[in-house]
Structure 1
């Protein structure tokens, strides 16, 4: 097994143990009934956040993308970008990071960007891409600062066509971002990895969810 595959499998196992990833029947914002649910807000203590940062850092290293710094869109991206920067430093690579305020400040250091000066090649760190709005705002901020966004790093790619339960789009939110901005999207794991994990699982309860996940992917997947 390659280190890349083990990073994906280990991350899925970690997300399940943290109850960030769960199976059952969940209604998505788009009104679809999904057989699984992923909520990165559940990585909510020091140990989990530390582990999560290591998974992000490993996925970024595996991608071999050339970059100078990291950027996290508020609010979820702030803890994610900080933990990824710490994990990279632990691996011997010290990179600067920045994030944005939701509202620009007109006193103190001012502006909407906080942290290191945004310059060079920048990787955007977020949890998932649902509508692409956060990426669009991030790209604008990074380019306005005179820097170059080079990739988006996320935890999970649902590999799911956009739209609703009845109106299904032609591409996923990730594909739309890649097409609109010409940026690669690096995910720690994706839906295909999740299905492989379930197929190989010795846990009967987990393996039993595979048909529902497969049916969902057949209907909405890219």
Structure 2
């Protein structure tokens, strides 16, 4: 595992973004872990977050794209801080774009924030986590209605590696199959477990034997068919 991935996993825990216990997801599933990107709230946290995304994007897609698109609402700050990080780390100027939830009919009119999309733009979508793929179902038409742009891929922070609501494939695999572009994450849940299991952080083991057992049981029921877990 690349060193920045291990750093990112510890960063999620330190930032209180990744938690272990028992959580009820929007889908109704009882999950032994939960990720909330809304817990990144300070300037230093957001700066580091942008750097981790930038490194993962660079390693996965390269930097031959024009626009980083962050769907409203959580994708907006992600797109901004990652564009800044790409500029600072790699000297590449990527334009940022996001959508509004409601179309603005005065002043800076339209549905977009940031740059306007142009025909021929190569667009990379950035999100926090994708469980069902519903947000991509909403985002792709917005992009394609604005310009004849090429969507080169999606980058999220954590691949939960669990089956979606409508198939046994993971949400990221469903996106690849449905839309024809790549979908990747900074880290997978498998990598999280490998990194944290029985490892003390500030003197405390976060991912204990009991939690590991609960995660294994969760993936026996909800693990994606296209992903080997454990």
Structures share a fold, TM > 0.5?
A: yes
Instruction: Encode CA deviations 1:108-151: one digit per residue, 9 max, x unaligned.
Output: 23110121121311001111112222212221122222211111
- What is the match of residue 171 of structure 2? 173
Deviation at 1:47, TM superposition (A): 1.2
Q: In the aligned structure 2, how far is the partner of 1:49 from the partner of 1:219? A: 34
Deviation at 1:199, TM superposition (A): 3.6
- What is the match of residue 228 of structure 2? none
- What is the match of residue 19 of structure 1? 16
Among candidates 201, 212, 215, match of residue 214 of structure 2: 212
Q: In the aligned structure 2, how far is the partner of 1:104 from the partner of 1:111? A: 5
Q: TM-score, normalised by structure 1?
A: 0.90
Q: TM-score, normalised by structure 2?
A: 0.87
Give structure 1 stretches of 5+ with no counterpart.
Answer: none
Q: In the aligned structure 2, how far is the partner of 1:54 from the partner of 1:27? A: 30
Tell which deviates more after alignment, 21-30 or 81-90: 21-30
1:142 touches 1:148 (CA, 8 Å); kept in 2? no
Among candidates 23, 30, 35, match of residue 32 of structure 2: 35
Residue 200 (structure 2) pairs with residue 198 (structure 1): no
Deviation at 1:14, TM superposition (A): 0.3
SS of the aligned residue for 1:85 comes to helix
Greater relative contact order, per chain length (Cα 8 Å cut-off, separation 6+): 1
- What is the match of residue 89 of structure 1? 87
Number of positions where the alignment pairs a residue of Structure 1 with one of Structure 2? 215
Does the C-alpha gap of structure 1 residues 205 and 52 become closer, same or farther in structure 2, counting only changes over 3 Å?
closer
Residue 138 (structure 2) pairs with residue 137 (structure 1): yes
Instruction: Encode CA deviations 1:65-86: one digit per residue, 9 max, x unaligned.
Output: 4312111111111001001001
**1:175-190 superposed matches below 5 A:** 175-190=173-188
- What is the match of residue 60 of structure 2? 63
- What is the match of residue 112 of structure 1? 111
Instruction: Encode CA deviations 1:82-108: one digit per residue, 9 max, x unaligned.
Output: 010011011122211111111111122
Give me the CA root mean square deviation. 1.7
Tell which deviates more after alignment, 116-125 or 129-138: 129-138
SS of the aligned residue for 1:44 comes to coil
